[in-house]
Homo-oligomer: A and B are copies of this chain.
Amino acid sequence: MSKVFCDISTSLDGYVTGLNQRLDAPFGDGPARAELHRWALEAAEENAVERERVIDAGAFIMGRNMFDPHRGAWDPEWTGWWGAEPPYHGPVFVLTHHERDDLVMDGGTTFHFVTGGITEALDRAKAAAGDRWVSIAGGASTANQYLGAGLVDELRLHIAPYVLGAGERLFTGVRPFGLTPVEVRHTAATTHVRYVIGS
């Protein structure tokens, strides 16, 4: 059976993005993109193992706001942030309230728009992933819904050495739970910690 991971970069104070995400600032106000994702953007070679794991999944689930932060104005022509050939190279299930036909991109990525909620998205993602893992790709709200429902097996955090001060937090609204750290690796740009959920 396919397992589920959530792989996400956070500030030291627990934010995964700044406030006011929007089309011209998809990571919101402040330096969230530069500071939280420096390990992947600027220190790619040193962090190659963790970078490759982010997209090593048989299927992906993301929130509508990660796919398309149009702030309420659904754009039926929007094809995502990732250009003609997104890095997923597999099925991506987008949680949304808007019906839309599948969107087939170059290189094997297809966006499927799921209106039936997180359980339907996970069922479809697991069926599509086969023996491979399912990735909860983000953003904060989607990660928190799956964490809160107890549907995530492994949490991979990349904790940036930066206090952001405001934004969208990981773990908001989630009930207490224990984890078991299974791997820690430190580079200058981040601290990678991999946790199995459950203590």
Contact = CB atoms under 8 A, between A and B. Distances in A.
Interface string A148-178: 0000000001010111110001110011111
Interface string A183-196: 01010100101010
Given A165-B176, A191-B184, A170 B35 contact: no
B174 A181 contact: no
Interface residues of A, number: 32
Identical copies of this chain, number: 2
B161 A180 contact: yes
Contacts of A178: 35, 161-163
Interface in A98-144: none
Contacts of A28: none
A13 interface: yes
A181 B165 contact: no
Given A163-B175, A163-B176, A184-B191, 10 more contacts: A13-B170, A30-B176, A161-B179, A162-B179, A163-B177, A165-B174, A165-B175, A181-B188, A184-B184, A191-B191
